[in-house]
Amino acid sequence: MILVIAEKPSVSGSLSKVIGATSRKNGYFEGGGYLVSWCLGHLAEYVEPNAYDKKYERWHYEDLPIIPDTWRLAVAEAKKEQFKVLSDLLNRSDLEYIVNACDAGREGESIFRRVYALAGSKAPVKRLWISSMEDASIRDGFAHLKDSSDYDHLFQAAECRAKADWLVGMNATRAFTTKYYKRLVIGRVQTPTLAMLVERQHKMDDFVREPYYKVSLSSDGLTVASDPIKEETEANHLVQNCQGKPATVTKLEKTKKTTKSPRLYDLTTLQREANRVFGYTAQDTLNTLQELYEEKLVTYPRTDSQYITEDMAGTVQGLLTDLPKIVPFLSEIAIGDQVSRLVNNAKVTDHHAILPTQEATKTDLSSLSEKQKNIFNLVGQRLAQAVSPDCIYEETAVEVLCEGAVFKAKGKVVLEPGYQAIEDAFRSYYNKVKETDEKADIPASLTEGMELGSVQARKSQHFTSPPKAYTEDTLLSAMETAGNKKFDADTEKKGLGTPATRASIIEKLVNSGYAVRKGKQIIPTKDGMELIGVIPDYLKSAALTAEWENRLLAIERGEVSADDFIQGICNLLTMVLNGCDSIPEAERQRFDARVSIGNCPLCGKPVYESVKNFYCSDKSCRFALWKENRFLANMRKTIDKKMAVDLLKTGKTHVADLYSPKKDSTFAADLAMKIENERPTFSLSFPKTNNGKKRKVTGKKK
């Protein structure tokens, strides 16, 4: 028996149909000598610090750094049932071998191996590595299963990434939170990303708009303009000098230029384009691509390549024949066939560029959602553009001399539209206006040395423009090139995160309240700007974090050891704690808007309120009033601020709505607090009524 484990139930179902495991069981499929099950995504995760030691439930700076000696994994409660299914299957005595069929990438490798390790299985493992969910691709993948050990370095990189994120997140977050008395969430990648947003916001806020002027001359259908002029008086003087005067064409230069057809999409370029054209978030695009991939309509989404391999050229050539049938606006457009320009074996590592599949050419796409159709059409039109000829145009540069001043204009005429005909058809189909360059119309009759008659001169006022807020498009670009602002086609990109993780990083910033979306823009919040204001440069450096990502890629290639990488992260934590040790007390009070609710019954210092308790301001003091405590739990009551104030002031507080499980009703009583062994203990007393009797338990039934 062969056990196949996929990442999701939908993928498992597709694999099962191809290999003949068609009998549905509880949590798996069976048939044809195969068992096929699934992991439900990240089924096992590294445990929280308090799982290693209960003392970590409370955040104390003195407990840092937290560095597990042995890393422990745990299965989420909601996924334990499926893990039990997998564990039983992984330990069957009749297994010949196991096929890791999780997504072919860093995270897929980690998802499978964690489950395999937790289950304690000893069965041999092979790897299914495919870039398409098409039946033919699945069959070919099973016919050429890889040795699991070929991906050991990939797994090490995945685990190093997860451990690094855990170590930085858990330690730096606790360090800065306890030092500044404010929850400050630090992420290895999300914090440098937030820093880019904050830096841009500061530039926008500090920008001072300045006016400038241009003088333009018009004559015989030609308009030319001066360079920007700072002083209005100078512009006025130039208008007066030139108005009604003759001018001479001193330069008329025509140059034939070429705009190369674009490369195929990798995930990041597709996410950027989808944001520009449709306003989709990076996560929207990734989710939609994943749906199309699982429906066998596009190839593997999480790729960083924009090329195909040589052996794919014939398949892509055949795909081009049917492309106009499935992409509506291509039916009237001539598509090129220059497939060879897509081929670059050296630029394809784990996966090739995103493409439509052969299966898509045989499928009725009318049932797709609007978002799925839009993303699919983007993928299809990009393939058509990539194999089509370059756009060739003629640019005309004109210079005119008038009263000793030079005026200029540029014109552009498309000679051979090439791939741009496809881009124009795409934009026309979606009624999207193309952003065009400001190019003047140059009369065909214009010649060099030509005298222009009486010219009309006029002044126009303009203003300098502030930097633009990041959109998802431009932020993804900035993340991709964070460590290498300018690079050519042969330079390895040093980015923040990977194509597979950048969308989730942006979502974390938004969900954590550190950034917000305003239309297409992503803007840092007040909390986000405050966080970056206190974080040291090395924790928010995009270039430094991009170097860490490059080391993870080096681990994948076997060039850097996992131990060396983690030691580097531990050294980073030492820097963090050394830096926190030296934060002045005045700086630590930066966010301290606390108001004391009373004095500590142990040491007399002020007591403050937090999310979960009322705590003594002296960190060496053990006093705390927990809002949820065992004594009041059965009475369905938590300690609120008013109760805490009373308890600290007089040692008791009156509570009107305690619950009695025995009588299923509410009652009133006085809650009294005493300090025993430096900890509060509680008891109830019942105040007497006016006639001297104790009040009875009363209240409405619940």
For residue 690, is pLDDT > 70? Answer: no
Report the pLDDT averaged over residues 224-245: 97
Report the pLDDT averaged over residues 540-566: 92
Report the pLDDT averaged over residues 543-569: 92
**Mutual angle of helices 152-180 and 562-581, in 10-degree steps:** 10
**Number of C-alpha atoms within 13 angstroms, CB side, residue 390?**
8
DSSP codes, 129-160? --S--SHHHHHHHHHTPEEGGGGHHHHHHHHH
Beta bridge partners of 685: 670
C-alpha separations of 82 from 7, 352, 420 in Å? 12, 32, 50
Mean pLDDT of the chain: 91
Closest CA to 536 of 201, 191, 200, 63: 191
Class in CATH terms, 2-144: alpha beta
Q: How confident is the model at residue 484 (pLDDT cuts 50, 70, 90)?
A: low
Reduced to 3 states (helix: H, G, I; strand: E, B; else coil), residue 85 is helix
Q: Pick 211-260+392-463's CATH classification: 2.70.20.10, 3.90.79.10, 3.40.1160.10, 1.10.150.120.
A: 2.70.20.10
Q: What is the pLDDT of residues 10-36, one digit of tens each?
A: 999 999 999 999 999 999 999 999 999
Question: What are the φ and ψ backbone dihedral angles of 690, each rounded to 5 degrees?
Answer: -60, -30
Among 151, 300, 393, 514, the one annotated catalytic: 300
Same fold, 2-144 and 162-205+469-585: no
Q: What is the model's pTM?
A: 0.81
CB 554 within 8 A of CB 564: no
Q: What is the pLDDT of residues 329-356, one digit of tens each?
A: 998 888 999 999 999 998 887 799 999 9
For residue 622, is pLDDT > 90? Answer: no
Sign (positive or negative) of CA dihedral 429, 434, 440, 445: negative
Q: How confident is the model at residue 557 (pLDDT cuts 50, 70, 90)?
A: very high
pLDDT-above-90 percentage for the chain:
80
Class in CATH terms, 162-205+469-585: mainly alpha
For the chain, domain boundaries: 2-144, 162-205+469-585, 211-260+392-463, 295-387, 598-685
For residue 163, is pLDDT > 50? Answer: yes
Residues 6+ apart with CB under 8 A from 92: 1, 3, 35
DSSP codes, 608-636? EE-SSEEEES-TT---EEESS-HHHHTTT
**Amino acid 697: pLDDT:** 41
Beta bridge partners of 304: none
Question: Active-site residue 608, yes or no?
Answer: no
Q: Which amino acid is at 592?
A: D
Residues 6+ apart with CB under 8 A from 119: 83, 86, 87, 90, 91
Report the pLDDT averaged over residues 88-104: 95
Q: What is the pLDDT of residues 383-426, one digit of tens each?
A: 999 999 999 999 999 999 999 999 999 999 999 999 999 999 99
**Amino acid 620: pLDDT:** 77
Q: How confident is the model at residue 678 (pLDDT cuts 50, 70, 90)?
A: confident
Distance separating alpha carbons of residues 332 and 204, to the nearest angstrom: 45
The position carrying tokens 């997860």 is: 162
**295-387 domain in CATH 1.10.290.10?**
yes
Q: How confident is the model at residue 48 (pLDDT cuts 50, 70, 90)?
A: very high
